[in-house]
Amino acid sequence: MGVDMTVLVADWARVMSLAPEDRLRVVQESAYADDDPGGGGDVVGGWVWPAAGSERAWLGRYEFPGTLGSYKPHFWAAEGWEKVRGAAGDGVRAALDEFLEGLIWWGPRSDVDAEQVDPGVFPTLEGLWRSGPLVVRGPATVARLRRRWHEAAPGLEDLRVPYEELAGRGPGQWIAGFEEFAELVTGWAEVVGEAERRGWGVIGLPI
């Protein structure tokens, strides 16, 4: 689990207009390019946006606070949810199950890992620098996940006590307790919400 992750929102019409065999390369090159002169690369509200008029203006990058770009906090948040979900009310559990399963959690079935990649977007992995994309969610999936978040969010605070009791800090964990869990989960809600507002998709690439 030593992977780092770059989380992007991307103009899906632009992505899908590219030749299928070129999509992954173009997204990679755009994601990892130097920030545009004048763009500054500043993180504002968690976001880094290319300068206005930039050739990369079809995407934005989200920086999860305190993660340093590592995938480990996402793994530990999923692990925390695995431990605490039985203490959640039925409605909150169902909503957060679907929300987190769509992004970072391996799902409720021990024999089948959930997929966080919509099919057909990157039909070829030719030229891939690392293992395949970690998250690929088009606008339709994004809209569904956003609806589930709206259902889950009012009950998130109710998980504070059971989270501390059932999923508190263990050796090597990046998620120390409920506050860190809630911050990371609401970061994903920010990503999904921004993508839905624009009619875009979400892509998580290993670095």
Q: What are the pLDDT digits (tens) for 31-44?
A: 877 655 444 567 88
| Residue 12 in tokens | 């899906």
- Residue-wise DSSP of 110-169: TTSPPP-B-TTSS---TT-SSSSPSEEE-HHHHHHHHHHHHHHGGGGGGGHHHHHHHS--
Residue 1 pLDDT: 46
- Evaluate whether 199 touches 21 at the Cβ level (below 8 Å): no
Domain ranges (residues) in the chain: 5-206
Q: Is 167 buried (19+), middle (13-18) or exposed (0-12) by CB count in 10 A?
A: buried
Low-confidence spans in the chain with pLDDT less than 70: 1-2, 34-41, 125-131, 170-173
Q: What are the pLDDT digits (tens) for 57-97?
A: 999 999 999 898 999 999 999 999 999 999 999 999 999 99
Q: Residue 103: which residues within 8 A CB-CB, separation 6 or more? A: 116, 135, 137, 145, 188, 192, 202
Q: How far is CA 117 from CA 7, 98, 142, 169, in A?
A: 13, 14, 12, 30
Residue 139 has a CB neighbour count (10 Å cut-off) of: 18
pTM of the model: 0.91
* Cα 117 from Cα 96, distance rounded (Å): 18
| Residue 47 in tokens | 């976001």
Residue 175 pLDDT: 84
Residue that the structure tokens 């889950």 belong to? 152
Residue 125 pLDDT: 66
